[in-house]
Chain A
Amino acid sequence: MKSVILRTASNYLLPLLLLFSVFILLRGHYNPGGGFVGGLIASIAFVLHAFANTLGNTRRLLRYPPGALIPVGLGIALLSGLAPVFVGKPFMTALWFSTPVPIIGLIGSPLFFDIGVYFVVIGITLTILFTISENIL
């Protein structure tokens, strides 16, 4: 796309949107948000960037193919589920730290599960969209 305005705007929007998506992800346990929505917002940020700056540039920005995020996310989610097993509790029991962290609140294994979902969603969405747009554009 040849719009200078969009290109400039997207360059500024990308970090902002990513920050927003992380914000949405972290507040999920207490306020509207969570890994799924956060991941979608992050993907939209990248898609917007790809529209403005061509797909190749976005791929270069990401450095790794987006599919690489899928195993990372799934691994984090699985590990967060497995963590309680090591302390002798059933699979996917929630473990929590006792003291809350400012802004985020309490940190526990569900948060890591959510982070896993976040990465998986980004990976999936970008893989699908990039593959299709590569095939068509």
Chain B
Amino acid sequence: MISAVLSGFVFALIVLLAGKYVKGKMAVLTTLLPLGLFVYFISMLPAIAIGPLSFSSSWIPSMGINLDFKLDGLSMLFSLLITGIGTLVFTYASYYLKGHPYLDRFYCYLSLFMASMLGLVLADNVMLLFVFWELTSITSFFLIGFNNDDPVSRRNSLMALAVTGGGGFLLMTGFVLLGAMSGTYSIAAMLSSAEALKAHPWYGLLLFFVFAGAFTKSAQFPFHFWLPGAMKAPTPVSAYLHSATMVKAGVYLLARFTPVLGGHTYWNTTLLIVGGITMLYSAWHAIQRTDLKGILAYSTIAALGTLVFLLGAGTPAAMTAVAVFILVHALYKAALFLVAGILDHETGTRDVTVLRGLRKVMLPVAIAGLLAALSSAGVPLTFGFIGKDLIYEATLHTPAYGYILTGIAVLTNILVLYAGFQAGIRPFAGALPDGFKGVHLPEWRLWIPPLLLAALGLVYGILPMLTDASLVQPVVLSLGGGTPPPLKIWHGFNLVLLLSGVTLAGGCLLYFFRQPAGRFELALQRFDAMSPETLVVKSARGFAAFSGWYTNKLHNGNLRSYVHIIIIFVSGLLVYKLITGVHLYFDMRTNVARLTVYDITVFGIILVAIWKTVSTSSRITAVASMSVVGYCICILFVIYSAPDLAMTQFTIDTLTVVLFVLVLFRLPRFLRINDRKVIVRDSIIAGIFGILISIIALEVMNEPTNKETSRFYAENAYLAAKGKNVVNVMLVDFRGFDTLVEITVLIIAALGVYSLLKLRISSSEKE
């Protein structure tokens, strides 16, 4: 299982290295990877029907973070969708993006994304899941911004990353919280503490974080706005991201945690409300759009809303509906996206008000569009019909507000039907305009994938038992819904059938009497000022403006003001600390009597050096006097037996003086360039800071010291690390990793100095 996940990452690397070949005729061969994985997962189907498969390998065992993978019904369904639709998308893209200069890069991103998605649905450890979760955000950022010379692409991919990444941070908090509450990071192990989790006082907080992650990823209201923007990606990517994978990750997360966290009022009510708002809102938006991809994007959000809504309903019937609807939606939505891509590719437009009569020139595409649209509408004998039946079945039998929920579902479905017809039927219906006479059927690599998907929707619709035992039942089982009754086409005459009829009739009436037009879209734009997207963008701009203002205030490029700010800030902190509970204590006998003649001598030298530093009028003398103070402190270290420290301090001091002299060499030799006011101000600040430091030093002497740490090192230095010099043992052994990082930081500093100065030299030479 881990090799299945890793293969995508390895493959991405190979594609990059073999870029030249991938760009040519070999592009279609990239399909072999998802195809191979798809066959692999299909071969696991019989095993899954019996029970979940697990794989585990230790990663950071001391923190409970391990490479745990589990293949159960839910992950199986998703894995099949990811690899299956992946296969078709890989094939499709090999023609769709033929001759694109960055085709190799595209396949690299795409396989990275596929591998991340696979890892996400297979992971059984929340930390591992989170790693893949963020990877999908990052790789989808690459994919959405694939046409990176288009500023809109860049903006939208950034927006997608900002929204999903921001949710990701909250999700990580949620996962850490979950780990703390249940004592494990393993999802399988969390199942046993499900009841305890729900009774935990932090349960509400936990839900907030988990929902934040899921809702942003799955584009639930009010975080939905990034998804239509993500349509700037090449169409195969949109098909992949929005039908099967990325946006369903949030739904997957909620489904995965339904057995662990679900069943509580908070959980159900929130999901019902958010899902309900999302589905109605976006379905209504979908029918206002005229851009094919816009329509599909909003109807995707509606479908995601429906899924969240069903998870909120929480009954076993709802779980069955979730399992079926995920499959239904993936099949028809991917097909519709791919069809939209063909239309765009061949005619150069995606405007449904323009596209007409194309069935005459590309019949197979028209069939695919028609079948997919019918499935999305839920016409009998398509898989969509079964899915919709199950949705009504589930909403009708929800304990509370069943009729209201059903009403919302019916309304949404009517609107989704209209949107589906708009995208799948209208471009092919009617008479062919003259402008499209030259359009012809593209190569098979474009139209076979959508046709396959759409046909599968029909096959499953006629023979639902095909999916029953192998796919749907394991999914419902892993959602904690028990074993569902087998799927049936015919339930007899009942309320559900009536609702289906109402949906169909309503949708068809809407389709025949309402023409898509740009004016609807224009009408919507009036509300742009209060849309979530505008608000987010506005707040982001405000934040940027604030940071600009703040940076200009504090970082004005004047070194002297930096030093001021730092010292004043630290003084403020120290004063605060002094006011709130430091009791000063100074005892002549204990504090002064211990002074030796050495101390007093060194102290005297320091005083003289300070006086010289302040009073001299030459910079070089001032630096030299300062270095005397430094050396005196080194001598103090020697007296109080810290030879290591003293040695290092001596050498550092020497080098600092050298550095100072080098820097000051070019400056005027005399100090007296300040006016009196500045001198007074600086001396006040310096005086206050010095006094505070002295008080703190006195206070530190009074505090009882904790010697536990130093005793540990002293005792173990020779036993564990075979060294007698405790300081050195700490540096190279006990805290060796810190030292490694520290020297790395030093290297970065050196590189910074080097490049800054060299750059200045080379740029001044150019002038």
Contact = CB atoms under 8 A, between A and B. Distances in A.
Co-assembled chains A and B? yes
B595 to A, nearest CB: 25
B731 A131 contact: no
A99 interface: no
B743 A78 contact: no
Contact of B740 (A29, A77, A106): A77
Given A29-B728, A40-B648, A110-B733, A77 B757 contact: no
Q: Of B659, B722, B724, B743, which is in contact with the most chain A CB atoms at under 10 Å from its CB?
A: B743
Interface in B694-752: 721-725, 727-729, 731-733, 736-737, 739-740, 743-744, 746-747, 749-750
B736 A73 contact: no
Interface string A8-38: 0000000000000000100011111111110
B655 A131 contact: no
A100 to B, nearest CB: 10
Interface of A: 24, 28-37, 40-41, 43-44, 47, 67, 70, 73-74, 77-78, 81, 91-92, 94, 96, 106, 108, 110-111, 113-114, 116-117, 120-121, 123-125, 127-129, 131-137
Nearest to B724: A30
Contacts of B725: 28-34
B518 interface: no
Interface stretch (B476-484, B535-543, B662-670): B662-670
Contacts of B740: 77-78, 81, 92, 113
A35 B721 CA distance: 17
Contact of A40 (B643, B651, B728, B729): B651
B758 A94 contact: no
B652 interface: yes
A132 B731 contact: no
B452 interface: no
B647 interface: yes
A19 B727 CA distance: 22
User: Main secondary structure on chain A at its contact with chain B?
Assistant: helix
Given A32-B644, A114-B728, 10 more contacts: A33-B728, A34-B725, A35-B731, A37-B647, A43-B655, A92-B737, A124-B749, A129-B658, A131-B758, A132-B662
Contacts of B731: 34-36, 114, 117
B643 A120 contact: no
B754 interface: yes
Given A70-B747, A92-B736, A110-B733, A132 B651 contact: no
B713 to A, nearest CB: 14
B443 to A, nearest CB: 51
B723 A110 contact: yes
A31 B725 CA distance: 5
Contacts of B733: 94, 110
Nearest to B733: A110
A34 B732 contact: yes
A44 B666 CA distance: 22
B753 interface: yes
Interface string B504-525: 0000000000000000000000
20 contacts: A29-B724, A29-B732, A30-B724, A32-B643, A33-B728, A34-B644, A34-B728, A70-B750, A77-B740, A78-B740, A114-B728, A114-B732, A120-B747, A121-B743, A125-B655, A128-B749, A129-B659, A132-B662, A132-B753, A135-B760
Contacts of B747: 70, 74, 120, 123-124
A32 B746 CA distance: 22
A117 B654 contact: no
B761 interface: yes
B659 A135 contact: no
B753 A136 contact: no
Contacts of A43: 655
A34 B655 contact: no
A94 B750 CA distance: 29
A131 B752 CA distance: 11
Contacts of B648: 36-37, 40
Contacts of B662: 129, 132-133, 136-137
Given A32-B644, A113-B732, A135-B760, A37 B651 contact: yes
Contacts of A128: 659, 749-750, 753-754
B663 to A, nearest CB: 7
B728 A44 contact: no
Contact of A32 (B647, B663, B754): B647
A124 B651 contact: no
A128 B747 CA distance: 10
Contacts of A133: 662
Interface string B62-78: 00000000000000000
Interface in B613-658: 643-644, 647-648, 651-652, 654-655, 658
Interface in B153-170: none
Contact of B750 (A96, A124, A134): A124
B721 A94 contact: yes
A132 B661 CA distance: 11
Nearest to B652: A40
Interface string B293-313: 000000000000000000000
Closest 4 CB pairs of A and B: A40-B651, A32-B643, A124-B750, A29-B723
A104 B663 CA distance: 40
B721 A135 contact: no
A132 B644 contact: no
A75 to B, nearest CB: 12
Contacts of A120: 743, 746-747
Contacts of B644: 32-34, 37
A102 B644 CA distance: 23
A71 B743 CA distance: 11
A77 B747 CA distance: 13
B98 to A, nearest CB: 44
Contacts of A35: 731-732
Contacts of B746: 120-121, 124
A114 B658 CA distance: 25
Contacts of B732: 28-29, 34-35, 110-111, 113-114, 117
A108 B729 CA distance: 12
Contact of A30 (B643, B652, B658, B723): B723
Contact of B663 (A91, A121, A132): A132
A111 B750 CA distance: 24
A24 B739 CA distance: 18
A67 B724 contact: no
Contacts of B754: 67, 127-128, 131
A127 B750 contact: yes
Contacts of B744: 74
Nearest to B761: A135
Contact of A44 (B643, B651, B737): B651
B655 to A, nearest CB: 6
A105 B201 CA distance: 59
A62 to B, nearest CB: 16
A117 B731 CA distance: 10
A120 B346 CA distance: 61
A28 B261 CA distance: 56
Contacts of B749: 124, 128
A73 B723 CA distance: 22
